[in-house]
Amino acid sequence: MRAVRVVAVACALAFAGCRSDEELAPPDLSAPGLYCPPDPPPDRAFVCDPTSIPYCSYPAAALTCRCLKGDAGLSVLTCGPELQPDDGLPTGTGNN
């Protein structure tokens, strides 16, 4: 009877759509797209994660870069003159 239950549970899990090991892995914290680069990148050249980088501020260059959806569906840092960030923090206190 116990063997039948084990087989039934195994079959149910096989068809339940269990997630792969890759889906359960934590994010790679060494990935550069999670952090602001040390210097402003050329426009649209730095692929970023918008959940980690809302913006990067570069006061010396008078630039603010935001992680925006670009071509091909990738999010990229797009830089422009210093702006007030959407999160209400004063300019110059970005994630740099």
> Using one digit for the tens of pLDDT, what is the confidence trace for 9-23?
555 555 556 666 666
Residue 93 pLDDT class (50, 70, 90 cuts)? very low
pTM as predicted: 0.54
* Mean predicted lDDT score pLDDT of the chain: 74
Q: In angstroms, rounded to a whole number, what is the distance separating the alpha carbons of residues 35 and 48? A: 8
Contact, 34 vs 41, CB < 8 A?
Answer: no
State the pLDDT confidence band at 32, using cuts at 50, 70 and 90.
confident
Tell which wins on pLDDT, 78 or 15: 78
